Amino acid sequence: MIDAVLNIVVGLMLVIGAGFALVASLGILRLKDVYMRMHAGSKAGTLGSGVMLLALAIYSNDAGVVTRAIAGVVFFLLTAPISAHLLAKAAYAVGYRPCADTKLDALAKTLKVKH
């Protein structure tokens, strides 16, 4: 009985994680500029990968696999937002400007950039 419930929970988590990964990939394909694409990839991709790794941790009966899966989730949560922020700042510094849908350009004042 418990095995069936765990299999259902793991299956749902895998489907949810894959759904977030799909949303991230669609966001990368469909959004207008590098900043929107980076946001979709870093947020939804991190959530999808994290949920799938947690499903692996629940499914596994090995403490080593559980530890590595949780370490992977922590690694994703710590590195994806920082790397997306640094990539966005570098893209802005070399001249990629936000699309016209962006209403507020906060970095223009900070970096004293002329449009």
Report pLDDT digits (tens) over 24-40.
999 999 998 999 999 89
Residues of the chain with pLDDT under 70: 112-115
Over the stretch 48-59, which tens digit does the pLDDT of each residue have?
999 999 999 999
Q: Work out how many domains the chain is built from and give that number.
A: 1
- Evaluate if pTM is beyond 0.75: yes
Residues 84, 81: Cα–Cα separation, whole Å? 5
Range of the domain at 32: 2-111
On whether the CB atoms of residues 13 and 54 are closer than 8 A, the answer is yes
